[in-house]
């Protein structure tokens, strides 16, 4: 405990008092570097809670600015942040909660060009993106970089979470193979989403990150947790790695990162 | 015949996975199907028959919280 300041001992006392975390676990949390992809609905609760928990270095990537229609669920951003780059707004809120951490911002889109160099700076990757091309890019890059990835998705009243341990557990591509054809799955504004769903799913993703950091508990790997808000129902789907998976299967055919065409959003 | 779909016991009258998806108005391209703990290839939906007692999971594509394609 000697390596903590007085202030840290008080700030993190409710963690330190948990036998499963303790001073040792909190130290690990402070030493963990986490990349959050997307400063939107999922990224907001993930970032706010991980900052509060004392994740030592948080990276956040997003190339968008705050829009009025974001505020219904993207709790990083306040009304006074309209038109501000999302990563700047996100950084300010995380540091306001906890000035004890470092926040790195990337005001850009993730692509095959920058993903590996950004991933190399972090221990854990968290997916808070909306679009499927990026979800597949993140999955493949996490497999190549051998970094644990916490996947999350929300749509209307449903959400899903899964933790991917590369080459040990089921990956996103094991399940979903390829991005859906553009326009078929509503991934944009037109589908709608109950705002609080981002909080439910994002905080479960943040929980997975803390379990990974501390090394305790049973991860959501090889199981997809789904939640339906209308029925208040959680379900767990048991999964197995897909031997035919194009990126982590027995004979992988994907050896380079792919920039799938981004769907064009109406409006 | 009786099968379990997403955890619910159901009575279905279809021969294969593709027919099941059509009967339930699910676009085959927007779902992954797990049959008895094995993820199926999308191209095998029509060729994969359903038997009494099968356990089927529909796994849906779900996006995230970013409003535009910003990331």
Q: Tens digits of per-residue pLDDT, B3-52?
A: 999 999 999 999 999 999 999 998 898 899 999 999 999 999 999 999 99
Q: What is the pLDDT of residue B64?
A: 63
pLDDT at A109 over 80: yes
Q: What is the pLDDT of residue A186?
A: 62
In whole angstroms, give the CA distance from residue B11 to residue B5.
Answer: 10
Cα within 13 Å of Cα(A106), Cβ side: 21
For tokens 């089921």, the residue is A170
Select the residue of B29, B39, B64 nearest A40 (Cβ to Cβ).
B64
A48-61 residue pLDDT tens? 999 999 999 999 99
Q: Which residues of B touch A203 (CB under 8 A)?
A: none
Q: What is the DSSP letter of A84?
A: S
Kindly report whether the global pTM for this prediction surpasses the value 0.90. Answer: yes
Instruction: Give, in order, the Cα–Cα distances in Å from A147 to each of A135, A167, A212.
Output: 15, 10, 11
Q: What is the pLDDT of residue B30?
A: 84
In this structure, which long-range contacts are made by residues A248-256, counting pairs with CB atoms below 8 Å and at least 24 apart in sequence? A248/A143, A248/A166, A248/A167, A248/A171, A248/A173, A248/A174, A249/A174, A254/A140, A254/A173, A256/A112
Q: What is the CATH number of domain A32-238?
A: 3.40.50.720
Shortest Cα–Cα distance, B25 to chain A (Å)? 13
- Is there a contact between A229 and A156 (Cβ–Cβ < 8 Å)? no
Q: What is the CATH number of domain B2-60?
A: 3.10.20.30
Strand partners, B35: B38, B56
Shortest Cα–Cα distance, B15 to chain A (Å)? 23
Q: What is the mean pLDDT of chain A?
A: 94
- The answer to whether the Cβ–Cβ distance between A61 and B71 falls below 8 Å is yes
For tokens 């997307």, the residue is A38
pLDDT at A38 over 50: yes
Shortest Cα–Cα distance, B4 to chain A (Å)? 13
Q: What is the pLDDT of residue B27?
A: 87
Phi/psi at B70 (5° precision):
-95, -15
Q: How confident is the model at residue A185 (pLDDT cuts 50, 70, 90)?
A: low
Span A110-128, average pLDDT: 97
- The answer to whether the Cβ–Cβ distance between A69 and B67 falls below 8 Å is yes
pLDDT at A216 over 90: yes
- The answer to whether the Cβ–Cβ distance between B62 and A39 falls below 8 Å is no
Q: How confident is the model at residue A180 (pLDDT cuts 50, 70, 90)?
A: confident
Q: Where are the domains of chain A?
A: 32-238
Query: Poorest-confidence range of A161-165, A204-208, A249-253, B63-67?
Result: B63-67
């Amino acid at each position: 405990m000697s390596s903590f300041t007085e202030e840290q001992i008080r700030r993190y006392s409710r963690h330190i008092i948990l036998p499963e975390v303790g001073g040792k676990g909190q130290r690990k949390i402070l030493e963990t570097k986490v990349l959050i992809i997307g400063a939107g609905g999922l990224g907001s609760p993930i970032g706010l809670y991980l900052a509060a928990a004392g994740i030592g270095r948080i990276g956040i990537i997003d190339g968008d600015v705050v829009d009025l229609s974001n505020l219904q669920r993207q709790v990083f951003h306040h009304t006074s942040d309209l038109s501000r780059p999302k990563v700047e707004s996100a950084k300010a809120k995380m540091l306001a909660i906890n000035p004890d951490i470092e926040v790195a911002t990337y005001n850009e889109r993730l692509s095959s060009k920058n993903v590996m160099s950004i991933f190399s700076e972090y221990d854990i990757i968290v997916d808070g993106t909306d679009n499927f091309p990026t979800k597949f890019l993140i999955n493949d890059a996490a497999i190549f970089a051998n970094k644990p990835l916490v996947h999350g998705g929300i749509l209307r009243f449903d959400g899903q979470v899964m933790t991917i341990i590369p080459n040990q557990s089921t990956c996103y591509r094991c399940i979903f193979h390829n991005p859906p054809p553009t326009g078929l799955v509503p991934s944009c504004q037109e589908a709608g989403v109950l705002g609080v769903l981002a909080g439910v799913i994002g905080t479960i993703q943040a929980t997975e990150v803390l379990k990974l950091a501390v090394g305790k508990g049973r991860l959501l790997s090889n199981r997809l947790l789904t939640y339906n808000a209308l029925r208040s129902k959680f379900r767990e789907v048991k999964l197995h790695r897909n031997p035919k998976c194009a990126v982590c299967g027995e004979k992988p055919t994907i050896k380079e990162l792919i920039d799938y065409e981004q769907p064009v959003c109406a409006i | 015949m009786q099968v379990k779909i997403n955890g619910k016991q159901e009575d279905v009258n279809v021969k294969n996975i593709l027919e099941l998806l059509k009967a339930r108005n699910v676009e085959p391209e927007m779902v992954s199907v797990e049959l008895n703990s094995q993820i199926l290839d999308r191209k095998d939906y029509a060729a994969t028959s359903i038997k009494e007692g099968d356990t089927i999971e529909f796994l849906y594509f779900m996006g995230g919280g970013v409003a535009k394609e910003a990331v």
